[in-house]
Amino acid sequence: MNRLRDRYDALLLDLDGTLYRGPDVIVGAPEALVPDGNSAQRLIYVTNNASRGPGAVAGHLVELGYPATADDVVTSAQAAAGMLAERLEQGTPVLVVGTEDLAAEVKAVGLVPVRSFTDTPPAAVVQGHSPTTAWPDLAEAAYALRAGALWIASNADRTLPNERGLAPGNGAMVAALRAATDREPLVAGKPYAPLMRDALTRSGAHTPLVVGDRLDTDIEGAHGLGLDSLLVLTGVSTLDEVGGAPPERIPTYLAASLDALNTEPLAESVAPSAVAELLRQHPDRAVRVRAADPEIR
């Protein structure tokens, strides 16, 4: 059998909504991803969530049944820190809006994380998701941004899937600062290139497959680098959204779950309007989506 996964030498895997929701594993996903307890491919875990470091992310994945080490994890916090390092001199103060893990990534590239706007304004603001971000944190960032600081956001996801539903994501907090400062950030995470390029470098792959649950981040990010993609319907994006999506958000393949990695995809590509019926008939297989269909333009 020509399994979908066998066409690729690495899987670049989204986390929230693809492998887990909040603290809870998506049922069947570990077994689908590594059905025999091993994988012949490099598995790279690529997350827009900047709240935890690679070690913590890998530890959570292992607890849920996925094979992972810190070297297999690429985060938007790392990508954002890399962007800062390219633009600032060593020892430059950077105001951090986010977790201590984000601050640690800033420190790791030779910059100085700070938490307030002082008489010596920080040269940059880096913003990532934290469940404890509050008005005082945003106010300090607003003061720095209005004083001309560089602004880098780890990601701009408006929502964050968890076990209860969709919670506000980092993009919701970015929107608050955008409204308060009339500024626009540079963005490290998907669909923008920095994070995906970091993942490609880490994987060493020539033919990777991007796997995720969001059209506006995972799939658009794959398109931006000319990579094939698989959208799974276990997280944010829905079949209805695929039907109305622009070409840059149409996945190469669409499937109900990660089970489709281990089956042969349906041979013919179809318009988004025909996907639902094929998934009903073949719930464990991937459908190739025809992006050129006039219905989606």
Would you please indicate which residues are annotated as catalytic (active-site) residues?
14, 16
- The residues, ordered by sequence, that sit 6+ positions from 163 with a Cβ below 8 Å of its Cβ are 21, 22, 23, 24
**Helix then strand then coil, % of the chain, to nearest 5:** 40, 20, 40
Do residues 75 and 47 lie in contact, with contact meaning Cβ atoms separated by under 8 Å? yes
Helix (H, G, I), strand (E, B) or coil at 226: coil
Pairing of strands 10-13, 20-21: unpaired
The enclosing H or E element of 14 equals none
- The residues, ordered by sequence, that sit 6+ positions from 226 with a Cβ below 8 Å of its Cβ are none
Distances from the Cα of 64 to the Cα of 15, 60, 77, 92, angstroms: 12, 6, 22, 39
Compute the distance between CA of residue 34 and CA of residue 259 in angstroms, rounded to an integer: 10
Compute the distance between CA of residue 69 and CA of residue 86 in angstroms, rounded to an integer: 27
Pairing of strands 20-21, 24-25: antiparallel
Q: Which amino acid is at 74?
A: V
| Token couple for 281 | 């008939």
